Amino acid sequence: MIEGGRAAGTIKVVGASRGGFIARMASARLDEPGIRWVIAGPCNAAQLTATEPPAMTGRVLAIKETTDTVAGPYTPREALHATTRSFEEVMLSTGRDHGFQFDADPAWIAPAVAF
């Protein structure tokens, strides 16, 4: 149980763009394998290459856009850890570059909700 009485399996954290990077940091700090993490187009390539990527825990869904030039070549697989219970990746081809996540597009919202 998480503080406040919630079971970790009932919690899902979704982070897009810079929020995806923040979600990675939170996952590493919380170290709670029951939480589900959705990271869509995580960016902050300079920090990711300058430091060791934070190890994620729990269940991880990565949503990436094939034309995204902001998130760069980084793949969330690099951030996995022994406490990562599962990893799934959804590749989108909306042609909207990093902007694929800037509105409530069902292309990325639907997989995030379903996860």
Q: What are the backbone dihedrals phi and psi of residue 60, each rounded to the nearest 5 degrees, phi first?
A: -125, 130
CA separation for the pair 42, 70 (Å, rounded): 9
Across 41-69, b (16+ Cβ under 10 Å) vs e yields bbbbeeebeeeebbbbbbbbbbbbbeebe
pTM: 0.83
Provide the pLDDT confidence category of residue 78 given band limits of 50, 70 and 90: low
Cα 105 off chain centre by: 17
pLDDT score for 69: 84
Provide the pLDDT confidence category of residue 114 given band limits of 50, 70 and 90: very high
Specify the higher pLDDT residue, 43 or 18: 18
